[in-house]
Amino acid sequence: MTTAPDVAPAGAPLADELDPRPVLRHEVLHRGRIVDLVRDDVDLGEAGTVTREYVAHPGAVAIVALDDDDRVLLLRQYRHPVRSRLWEVPAGLLDVDGEPAVDGAARELAEEADLTAGRWHVLADFLSSPGSSDEALRVFLARDLADVAADARHVRTGEEAGIELRWVPLDEAVARVLDGSLHNPSAVVGVLAAAASRAGGWASLRPADAPWPSRRGA
């Protein structure tokens, strides 16, 4: 006989909630340059104890840079794990201790796109792969854009050295997400969130320093 899953009571908030379970043992299996592979023994109460291995990640930010003509900036770079050049939005790690997320986003926008922004808002928050990683991502909307001075631009290296930039109408970017042409998760979430927020008159935008409880260490 199967048991039906619990049903949330009518009227309960449709919102994810932090609900950490006791970790009986924590082990770092591999300490990497950016991420670690860890193993936890987790007490699930009546369901018993389970062992889960996952990637511990510092978190990241992504930026939907939108110009006055409703064009979004996409950049293409090589991603070795998937052996592909992907069209993405500017993004980067939150690997500076204590750094506000919006400051990290401003840094990444300047380094990857040679741009600054006069207005910042939160578009969306998501967890990239919650069954296998604790990576949390925040997607910002950046507007009132300006170029970084030529003598202050970041020197890009590695995969970033070959970045290609393209301004794309937001509606076209949405179409490319929906027809399966774009796969980067930050680009998919950011483009669709920007289009949805624009359709609602941008009423859904949150302040750049909005609470972010799923960020590691928040």
Q: What angle do CA 191, 109, 138 make, to 5 degrees?
A: 50
110: Cβ–Cβ under 8 A, 6 or more apart, which residues?
Answer: 116, 148, 153, 154
Rounded mean pLDDT for each run of 10 residues along the chain, 218 residues in total? 65 88 97 95 95 96 98 96 96 91 96 95 97 96 91 65 89 98 97 98 98 85
Q: Is 160 a catalytic residue?
A: yes
pLDDT digits (tens, 9 = 90+) for 89-109: 999 999 888 899 999 999 999
pLDDT of residue 158: 64
pLDDT of residue 36: 96
Instruction: Yes or no: say if 142 and 122 are a contact pair by the CB < 8 Å rule.
Output: no
Amino acid letter, 178: L
Measured CA to CA, the distance from residue 27 to residue 33 in angstroms comes to 17
Q: Tokens for 171?
A: 């509606």
Q: Tokens for 42?
A: 């987790």
Q: Of the residues 111, 112, 135, 160, which is catalytic?
A: 160
38: Cβ–Cβ under 8 A, 6 or more apart, which residues?
Answer: 26, 27, 28, 29, 53, 54, 55, 56
pLDDT of residue 71: 98
Amino acid letter, 75: L
Instruction: Measure the CA dihedral 105/127/215/75, to 10°.
Output: -10
Q: Strand order of the sheet with strand 49-56?
A: 23-31, 36-43, 49-56
pLDDT of residue 3: 58
pLDDT of residue 102: 97
Measured CA to CA, the distance from residue 64 to residue 187 in angstroms comes to 8
List beta partners, residue 115: 147
Taken as a whole, the chain contains a residue count of 218
Q: Tokens for 127?
A: 């967890």
Measured CA to CA, the distance from residue 215 to residue 218 in angstroms comes to 5
pLDDT of residue 211: 95
pLDDT digits (tens, 9 = 90+) for 136-171: 999 999 999 999 877 666 666 666 667 899 999 999
**Predicted model pTM:** 0.90
Measured CA to CA, the distance from residue 25 to residue 39 in angstroms comes to 8
